[in-house]
A = this chain, B = another copy of it.
Amino acid sequence: MSAIDHLLVVGVGLIGGSFALDLKRQGLVRRVTGAGRSAANLVRAHELGIIDTVAADVGIAARDADLVLLAVPVGAMPAVFAQLSEALPTDALITDVGSTKCDVIAAARAGLGPRIARFVPAHPIAGAERSGAEAARVGLFVGKPLILTPLAENDAADVARIEALWRACGAEVARMDAREHDHVFAAVSHLPHLAAFALMEELAGRPQASTYFRYAGSGFRDFTRIAGSHPEMWRDIAVANRGALLDELDAYIAKLQDVRALLQQHDGAALERLFARARAARREWIGNRNHE
């Protein structure tokens, strides 16, 4: 695989920074420029050897980029596409790491216009407990899923090029339709985050909240761990994946209402069957995970 001459990373955090580090380590990129909102973070990324240059302006930095990685919150992507549209060389590729895909693709179409074919959408599934350049590390993506949601307009060689870079980082690449992607992640990631935020916020708003929290144990701790996630990032994801997430919220609320009805009717047998199905499904899932 030929090396990339100039990689521009917009948003040098856990994901963007780790991608740059992995490619550098393997000699797959010659020069990395970093762009982003926080000058302090970019200076730190430079100190850590993640980037070689700090871009004063995305448009200017893009002029001789071969590949641009968008690793900003999904709500910030439309503005970046607009900045790239004018500046980017016609043969440069763009990819992203957004947790939602339909809205990012829509923003790319709006921002890039006829050059949409150069954008290959992607989503690496890597934990985001920590953030910023400080959190970036070599090997973050090893064994982690990376989902490509190619566009009809994409050239097969370009998609293969992006796939090869992620494979070089150790990711296990799958391809999926963007709509399917958004439905799957609404169910297994976005909804649980909203459900954990909602439970925590509801309890915290009660007059006697401190008594409640005092007796919360390890089950509560694990159930609400993702309620410690970043509010702005999750605001963007929720709004970006609004359609699928509304469907998931409706399905979950309906299931909770079913549970409520069984309890109201004193139907212990049906509750036990529901709990048993849940436990069996979880055990099977955990078994498959450990097996991989």
Contact = CB atoms under 8 A, between A and B. Distances in A.
Contacts of A231: 272-273, 275-276, 279
Given A199-B195, A278-B197, A253 B257 contact: yes
A235 interface: yes
The binding surface of chain A is classed by DSSP as helix
Contacts of A227: 275, 278-279, 282
Contacts of A282: 200, 224, 227-228
Contact of A211 (B184, B218, B264): B184
Interface residues of A, number: 89
Interface string A242-262: 100110011111011111100
Interface of A: 75, 125, 127, 145, 147, 180, 184-185, 187-189, 191-205, 209, 211-213, 215-232, 234-236, 238-239, 242, 245-246, 249-253, 255-260, 263-264, 266, 268-269, 271-283, 285-286, 288-289
